[in-house]
Amino acid sequence: MKSSPQKLIIASRESALAMWQAKHIQARLQTLYPQCNVQILGMTTTGDQILDSPLARIGGKGLFVKELETALADGSADLAVHSMKDVPMNLPEGFALVATGEREDPRDAFVSNQFNALEELPDGSIVGTSSLRRQSQIQARFPHLKIESLRGNVQTRLRKLDEGQYAAIILAAAGLIRLELGHRIRGFIAPTDSIPAVGQGALGIEINAN
């Protein structure tokens, strides 16, 4: 690593969930290496900035890691913390995933103020999710529902639900649990209805391997 062994810098997105994840890894590192000064470098990624288009249309999950990898490449950071579900299958040359944390609940969560499950939603109900994977699977299983794109951080998505823009929204259970918002979960999506993303609920640590 380019920094001295006495100091490590973690690159992270600046959302509340991303910062929770970075602070979690920071605490683990400081416990393992108490002599090391572990700092967090908050960054805004392209995926965080473009919120008016479905993620699949503007470049996919890699938009959440590109700027963090730039910080690794130029030495601004020593490691980056990601939600594993946001990490592309193939990393750019010169980068490596070197560790994954203990996995939180990998399931998708059903969140609604009026209903307890997808099966309860009336015809034409609007369900929000940012994931093309979820959209495709839920639409195939529940063709009477209207599945719409929902972008933004966890708090923004919950606010849109509370404003009545959606009858229900689908989020990763792990994010809600980590932000102490597990009470918003009305139920979990059965894998037979929507298979969770690869790595969902796990944290990954990426470094510049050069």
Give the burial class of 9: count Cβ atoms within 10 A of its Cβ; 0-12 exposed, 13-18 middle, 19 or more buried. buried
Could you tell me the two tokens for 150?
């929902």
- Can you tell me the distance from the alpha carbon of 116 to that of 154, in angstroms, rounded to the nearest whole number? 19
Residue 34 backbone phi and psi in degrees, to 5: -60, -20
Known catalytic residue at 86:
yes
Residues forming a β-bridge with 97? 206
Q: Which of 48, 78, 86, 108 is catalytic?
A: 86
Please, which residues have CB within 8 angstroms of residue 105's CB and are 6 or more apart in sequence? 173, 174, 177, 201
| Active site residues per annotation | 86
